Amino acid sequence: MKDADTTPSAFCAKLLEPNAKNIQYCAQALEEGQLVAFPTETVFGLGAAVTQLSAVRGVFRVKGRPSQHPLIVHVAPGANLNGWVAQITPIMQRLMNAFWPGPLTLVVPKGNNMPLEVTGGQTSVGIRCPSHPVAVELLRATGVPVAAPSANRFGKVSPTCAAHVLIELGDQIPFVLNGTAPEVGIESTIISLLNDQPAVLRPGAITADEIQTVLNIRVQTFAEVSKTQNTNPRVSGALEKHYSPDARVLLLEADELIDWPVLEPTLCVGWTDAFLAQAQALSQQHGRVMLVKALANNPLHVAQNLYSLLRQADELNCQQIWFEKPAIQPSWEAIINRLERAASS
């Protein structure tokens, strides 16, 4: 008997292994206006061909994302951007040469062919060329750019494997293309080239320092941008609560651990000896209620594991997640950003 409270599922997503035949098949599905989730080196994306407006609207519907939040557009290496962006300025070209394919999204004036549905009504577009081999092959096989936000429900944790996509959106989309785990693990750095001074709108694996070195001009950091940002968020990751699991997330230093009640179960994630020793001591004191996870003290490694740990905590019905507070350093900025959003309530 059917449960009267459940909405009927439109799809039961097919998980496709990324061989040449399936990639071709998915490219055709995109061109025909279907949604395809696929791996990138940052997180899995939920793709729609930019020219298929009902598919683009479908992305917003499936994610539960407000329609004024623009989607990132993905292109293959060496793709002709004519008509999709207004022009390729020398600065844009230099960043493309240095960081594409890779986890850098450029916000630039859009071209005439780029639909406003994709850009959330804005005259600018966020565009990037991913490096994951499956994404590259899919984009090469698809004749047009592919709009793809992270393949999760709006405000939730981005997926870093096909299983995460299937669990969250499997009844909403027809195809999920499989692929190796993202090397980066958190979303791309977004840099706006709309004003004289380039500005980081979302921190990621590529830092403001690295961009500045390539351009040889001053780049506004994310911290500087956040201070001046107006209340209308153009970057949905800039909303207060985002990337959030069901469990309560707390950012703590080693000597603060002792002050917090151990709710059962608690997941405790850290990387320094002091934090891990304190967590182990508490864990022994409280029996089986705490799960202590040690990561390498390296922001790239923490990024790779961050989202799967947040999801794991929910699978284990954790009441809270204690994350070690990272050092305030440029290389940790993207991690701090994601953890602070996950922790805000």
What whole-number distance in Å separates Cα of residue 115 and Cα of residue 68? Answer: 13
Contact between 48 and ligand TXA by CB under 6 A: the answer reads no
Contact between 50 and ligand TXA by CB under 6 A: the answer reads no
Is the separation of the CB atoms in 229 and 220 below 8 Å?
A: no
Q: How far is the CB of 149 from Mg ion (least distance, A)?
A: 5
Alpha-helix runs per DSSP H in the chain: 20-31, 53-63, 90-99, 133-141, 162-169, 208-215, 222-228, 273-286, 299-315, 333-343
Local structure of 188: helix, strand or coil: coil
| Site size with ligand TXA, rule: CB under 6 A | 28
Candidate ranges 117-125, 159-167, 205-213, 336-344; the one touching ligand TXA (CB under 6 A): 117-125
Partner interacting with residue 119 (select from ligand TXA, Mg ion, none; CB below 5-8 Å by kind)? ligand TXA
Partner interacting with residue 125 (select from Mg ion, ligand TXA, none; CB below 5-8 Å by kind)? ligand TXA
Contact between 40 and ligand TXA by CB under 6 A: the answer reads yes
Sequence-distant (6+) residues with CB within 8 A of 194 are 107, 108, 109, 124
Q: Nearest CA to 39 among 22, 53, 57, 60?
A: 22
The DSSP string of 133-153 is HHHHHHHHHSSS-EE--BSS-
Contact between 105 and ligand TXA by CB under 6 A: the answer reads yes
Contact between 172 and ligand TXA by CB under 6 A: the answer reads no
Local structure of 46: helix, strand or coil: strand
State the helix-helix crossing angle for 299-315 and 162-169, rounded to 10 degrees: 40
Q: How far is the CB of 211 from ligand TXA (least distance, A)?
A: 15
Nearer to ligand TXA, 40 or 178 (CB): 40
Q: How far is the CB of 246 from ligand TXA (least distance, A)?
A: 19
Contact between 245 and ligand TXA by CB under 6 A: the answer reads no
Q: How far is the CB of 316 from ligand TXA (least distance, A)?
A: 25
Q: Is the peptide bond before 18 cis (omega within 30 degrees of 0)?
A: no
Q: How far is the CB of 261 from ligand TXA (least distance, A)?
A: 34
Contact between 159 and ligand TXA by CB under 6 A: the answer reads no
Contact between 280 and ligand TXA by CB under 6 A: the answer reads no
Q: Which residues pair with 322 in a beta bridge?
A: 250, 268
67: amino acid identity, one letter: S
Contact between 244 and ligand TXA by CB under 6 A: the answer reads no
Q: How far is the CB of 158 from ligand TXA (least distance, A)?
A: 7
Contact between 58 and ligand TXA by CB under 6 A: the answer reads no
Contact between 43 and ligand TXA by CB under 6 A: the answer reads yes
Going through 153-240 in order, the beta strands assigned E by DSSP cover: 175-177, 189-192, 199-202
Q: Which residues pair with 344 in a beta bridge?
A: none
Contact between 325 and ligand TXA by CB under 6 A: the answer reads no
Site residues (CB under 6 A) for ligand TXA? Answer: 40, 42-43, 45, 69-72, 103, 105, 107, 119, 122, 124-126, 130, 148-150, 187-188, 190, 201, 234-237
